[in-house]
Amino acid sequence: MSGLRPLEPQDIPDLVTLSTSLFSREDTRSRQELVQNFDDVFLKNPWVNESIPSWVYTDSREKIIGFLGVTPRRMLFRGEPVSVAVSQHMMVSAEARAPFAPVEMLRKLLGGPQDLTIADMANDISRKIWERLGGEISPAFSIHWRRPLRPARFAAQVLGNRDGVSSVVALGARFCAAPVDLIAARSRMSPMRVSPPPVQEEQLNTTTHLDAIRKFSEQFTLRPEYTVRDLEWIAAALRRQQYHGAFQEACIRSPEGDLLGWYMYFVRKSGSSEVVQVCARPETMSVVLDSLLFSSWSKGCVDLAGRLDPLFMKTFSEKSCLFSPGRYWMLVHSRKPEILNAIHRADAFLTRLEGDLWLV
């Protein structure tokens, strides 16, 4: 008989084996490092809660053939604490005959004691299962943006990934891209222009980050509740990962020293550079976004991608960002309608830092 049970420390090596068999990624970490990472993320994170565990699915021989990672989090709703479970890294062995394993694992998660369950960056398969079990899509937080920084090279990469396009054509397009991209970035008439704004940029430290999140999120009915230890753990974990590129973070201040906002992203010169968090007030988002665009362009990034905060759609549109609804889904579930209503009307401070951190 197959079984569903909470994750235990001795399961971690088998999870690494399952993960590496399913996901072929450019990850140079050793097996020992991967084991340590799974252990840190799912068993030693700052929010570990025995009542909200990760789940493993075993076959009749007690071999692990499925896994649903869960990271508990803490948030505030109208100033009162609420418990949150973030679903991430669901996987089932391609060789296992267990078509209902994802449904059973997810049903177990949604039946837990938490006030809110979130699945961030979910694909269509996960969405269908989630909805079948009573979960919902958050339309407000399922819109993603992309900003080409080197538009000609970006187009050449898209062309090179298409079936039927010869390697000679793709190589020629890439060769011609550099001068076009330089003009696009520096010309005053270009909608793709990037330039350093008149601000001060400094390293984002944990204390500043915590104070900024508390200050910038206080207007929202639903918002995260962090401690210094929480943010230190997250920052260390984000720096430790290798697949998404080098982790960068900065806070942006006015010439007078006032905090305007901050950003966190991964530098990846081939492929999209993913933005984890870019935050500001409505009146300062434009200059903070300019700082992010210039920082990533100067480091050689081809394009940036992130999830859109609905409050800033106009600002991102003015910066020539492209929008794609449903590129990935944010899925939510709660037995408290008032919490879901806050999310659906975008009265929630929910960045990718509060979702699936891609740490494994």
Shared-domain flag, residues 103 and 20 = yes
Distance CA 23, CA 29 (A): 14
* Residues 206 and 307 both lie in one domain: yes
Mean pLDDT of 130-137: 96
Residue 220: per-residue pLDDT: 97
Same domain? For 240 and 110 the reply is no
Residues 11 and 87 placed together within one structural domain of the fold: yes
* Shared-domain flag, residues 234 and 103: no
Q: What share of the chain has pLDDT > 90, as a percent? A: 71
Q: Does a structural domain hold residue 340? A: no
User: Which CATH number do you get for residue 202?
Assistant: 3.40.630.30
The token duo for 268 is 């990846």
| Residue 159, in any domain of the structure | no
Residue 15 lies in a domain: yes
Q: Measured between alpha carbons, how far is 317 from 306 in angstroms, rounded to an integer?
A: 13
| Mean pLDDT computed over 240-265 | 93
Instruction: Count Cβ atoms below 10 Å from residue 336 Cβ, excluding itself.
Output: 12
- Which pLDDT score is estimated for 27? 67
Task: Give the residue from 17, 45, 52, 18 showing the smallest Cα distance to 31.
Answer: 17
**Pair (198, 318) in one structural domain:** yes
CA distance 13 to 19: 10
Q: DSSP of 207-232, one letter per residue?
A: HHHHHHHHHHHTTSSEEE---HHHHH
169 or 312, higher pLDDT:
312
Listed in sequence order, the residues at least 6 apart from 266 whose beta carbon sits closer than 8 Å to its beta carbon are: 244, 245, 246, 247, 248, 273, 274, 276
Can you give the pLDDT at residue 295?
Answer: 96
What's the confidence (pLDDT) of residue 169?
Answer: 47
Q: Are residues 123 and 211 in the same domain?
A: no
SS3 state of residue 307: strand
Residue 360: pLDDT band by 50, 70, 90 thresholds?
Answer: low
Task: State the average pLDDT over residues 74-82.
Answer: 97
Q: Supply the range of the domain harboring residue 32.
A: 3-142
> Could you give the number of structural domains in the chain?
2
The model carries a pTM of 0.91
* Beta carbons within 8 Å of 293's beta carbon, 6+ residues apart: 147, 149, 194, 304, 319
* 216-251 per-position pLDDT tens digit: 999 999 999 999 999 999 999 999 887 889 999 999
Locate 313 and state its tokens.
């759609």
State residue 196's pLDDT score: 92
* Residue 311 in this model has a pLDDT that exceeds 70: yes
Estimate to the nearest angstrom the gap between the alpha carbon of 121 and the chain centroid.
7
How many other CB atoms sit within 10 Å of the CB of residue 196? Answer: 13
Domain membership of residue 14 (yes or no) is yes
Domain identity same for 138 and 207: no
Q: Say whether both 198 and 127 belong to one domain.
A: no
Task: Give the pLDDT confidence of 161-211 residue by residue, as tens digits.
Answer: 665 554 544 455 566 688 888 888 888 889 999 999 999 999 999 999 999
pLDDT band, residue 64 (cuts 50/70/90): very high
Three-state secondary structure readout of 69-116 = EEEEEEEEECCEEEEEEEEEEEEECCCCCCCCHHHHHHHHHHCCCCCE
Q: How far is it, in rounded angstroms, from Cα 201 to Cα 197? A: 10
**In this structure, is residue 266 part of a structural domain?**
yes
203 lies in some domain: yes
pLDDT value, residue 2: 63
Closest by CA to 144, choosing from 294, 249, 274, is 274
What pLDDT, on a 0 to 100 scale, did the predictor assign at position 162?
A: 60
